[in-house]
Each structure stands twice: as C-alpha cells, then as structure tokens.
A = this chain, B = another copy of it.
Amino acid sequence: MNNQKKIAVIGGGSWATAIVKMLSENLETVGWYMRSKSAIDHIKKNNHNPNYLRSADVYASQLDLSSDINKMVENYDVLIFAIPSAFLVGELEKLKKSLKGKIIFSAIKGIVPETGLIVGEHFHNVYDIPYEKIGVITGPCHAEEVAMERLSYLTIACQNQENAKLMSKSLKSWYIKTKISDDIIGTEYAAMLKNIYAVAAGIAHGLGYGDNFQSVLMSNAIREMKRFIKKVHKMKRNINNSAYLGDLLVTGYSIFSRNRQFGNMVGKGYTVKSAQMEMSMVAEGFYATKSAFKMTAQNGANTPIINAVYNVLYNNKDAKKEFKKLTNKLD
C-alpha cells in the first residue's frame, strides 16, 4: 500500500500558482483545479499560467490539471484551498463528493463573507471536518517572489503535527523555508486582519501621511492584532513571529498589495464603489473589515484601526476626518 498522500491545489490565481510551483519542487504529481478550461489548455502547452503569475514555471508533465472540482476531491487526500474567500462558497456548492476524511489546508487569508467565519472554522462548522484535519499555510510571502525563487518563509499551522510535517516537507525547497505551528486560529486571523491594516496603510498613504506615520500605524496594528486574536483564541503565541508580524509587514509595506492599492484609492478620494470597480482583483480586506468589525463589537477588543477603516468603507465616513480622529488614538 502506498502511504504517500496525494495533494491538490484548488484555485487558479497567483497564490495558487505559487503553491503549485512550490509543491512541484517535491512531488511527482500535483493536482491542480481551476475553473478556466482555457487556462488549463494554455498551461498544458506553455508551462505557465496565462492569467496570473505568468513568470512562474509550472511543468504540465508534473500536473494533474482539471476544471472538475469533484474529480480533485475524489482523487486527492489533501486539498489546499487558494481562491478568494468570496468565491469559496460558490466552489463548494459544486461538490457532490464528500470531504469526509480529507485533510484541508487553507491558503486563503480571508473571511468567508457568507458566514463571517475564517476558512478553517467554515470547514469545521459547515462540513464537520475535525480541527486536526484542518491546517493553514501562511506567509509572509508574495507569490511574485516565489516565482522569482527568492528566499521566503512559510508557516504551516495544524494541530496534528503529522499533517503539518507532511505539508511542510511538501513545500520546502532551496528557496522556501517552513516553520510549524499549532495556532491554526491565530495564524488565520492574522492573515485576515493584516489585509485590513494594509487597507489602512493605503488610505493613510492616499491621504498624504508619510513614512513616520506608517511606522506608527504598523506598530499600533500589531498591538491591535494581538488584542483581537487574544479575544478570539487565547493561547501562548509570540505575535512578533513571522506568521503574524512578518505577514503584516510584507503586506502593509507592499506597494503591490491589492488591499493597500484599494485603500490608497479610497484615501485619494475615490468612492469605495469606484475603487472596487477600478480593481480587477478582489481586495480581501474589504470583506475582512466587515467581519472583523462585527466580531470586535461583540468581543470588546479595542480596535481603533479596524473601526476607522470600517467607518470609511461601510459607513460612508470621510476618510480624512476619520483618520484624523484615528491619529489621536494611536501612540
């Protein structure tokens, strides 16, 4: 009997493509589901994804590509979900095959808008997947730098150490280092919250605040993130580890971050709607803000940054005035 667990990636975007590339360094075959049949055909001929992360080489000979998600679920033991959180429910509705017994890793970094849950919780609550079969793959990691094979560090969180080790072994290579954690809730919330703080950084930049303020904002953001996560899932964690602080920084300081770009447009005076229409990609931070605000209203965490972003994005508050108020709450 072959004990080797078969791994498939669900998603056709940049991060999914980067994960496929990383897995291809180690696995003979990587399952890869994406909706677009034409993208699959292109990859089979040209060994790169035509729509996202084109610069990453992915070799068709190693790939089991399919636009049928049920085939993937049937044939693979481990499923890595790497699609925008807003599309997750829609994809899962296609399922006719059971997820029972599957190991699910989330590489989504967002909240499921329909349920307001992080991805791990969604699979646990809605599909009854036990937490020991749920894991999280988190950065700090821009997909673009994976394509360039620049040294990056991933954190693999799973309560079951065997599953964490399996994923770690499958992803690491000469340009990828991995670290194992058992904080699936905290790492996933961090990955989601950092997108809100990247929106905040973008708004501040759009309003004309400079680098001095940005560093104060990030220093307050990591303290706010710590308070938030502690309310949700109290355990011993060092918030300055790469999966939390590192992930915040790589996004909050990246001028390529969609969330930061979205915030920047809002700061510069675009309405939320027009900023969203200008952007062809989804800014996870937009959905995350709504869910996080709701949670913080319930759990009582002190989160002035989330509140300010919420007021700008959902309450039609003037960004300039709202951030001016925010500056008095930071230190």
A residues in contact (CB < 8 Å) with B = 139-142, 145, 148, 150-153, 177, 179, 208-216, 218-220, 222-223, 226, 238-242, 245-247, 249-250, 253-254, 327, 330-331
- List 21 A–B pairs whose Cβ atoms lie within 8 Å, in order of A's numbering: A139-B212, A142-B211, A142-B212, A145-B212, A150-B208, A150-B209, A150-B212, A151-B213, A151-B327, A177-B331, A211-B254, A212-B250, A214-B250, A215-B249, A218-B246, A218-B249, A219-B249, A220-B242, A223-B238, A226-B240, A241-B331
Q: If the complex has contacts A219-B240, A240-B222, are A330 and B153 also in contact, measured as CB distance less than 8 A? A: yes
Per a CB cutoff under 8 Å, which of B153, B209, B213 touches A212?
B153
> CB-CB < 8 A to A327: which residues of B?
151, 177
A247 to B214, CA, bound (A): 11
Q: Could you tell me if A215 and B247 are in contact, using CB atoms closer than 8 angstroms?
A: yes
> CB-CB < 8 A to A145: which residues of B?
210-212
A212 to B246, CA, bound (A): 8
Q: Could you tell me if B153 and A216 are in contact, using CB atoms closer than 8 angstroms?
A: yes
Shortest CB distance A308–B (Å): 15
Q: Which B residue's beta carbon lies closest to that of A146? A: B212
Q: Which B residue's beta carbon lies closest to that of A253? A: B253
A278 to B246, CA, bound (A): 32
Shortest CB distance A167–B (Å): 16
> CB-CB < 8 A to A223: which residues of B?
238, 240-241
> CB-CB < 8 A to A208: which residues of B?
150
Give me the 10 closest cross-chain CB pairs, A-B, nearest first: A215-B250, A219-B246, A150-B210, A152-B212, A140-B215, A215-B249, A215-B246, A219-B245, A145-B210, A219-B242
A250 to B245, CA, bound (A): 15
A327 to B151, CA, bound (A): 9
A210 to B254, CA, bound (A): 11
Q: Which B residue's beta carbon lies closest to that of A225? A: B240
Q: Could you tell me if B216 and A246 are in contact, using CB atoms closer than 8 angstroms?
A: yes
> CB-CB < 8 A to A239: which residues of B?
240
> CB-CB < 8 A to A253: which residues of B?
211, 215, 253
Q: Which B residue's beta carbon lies closest to that of A226? A: B240
Q: Which B residue's beta carbon lies closest to that of A204? A: B151
A213 to B241, CA, bound (A): 13
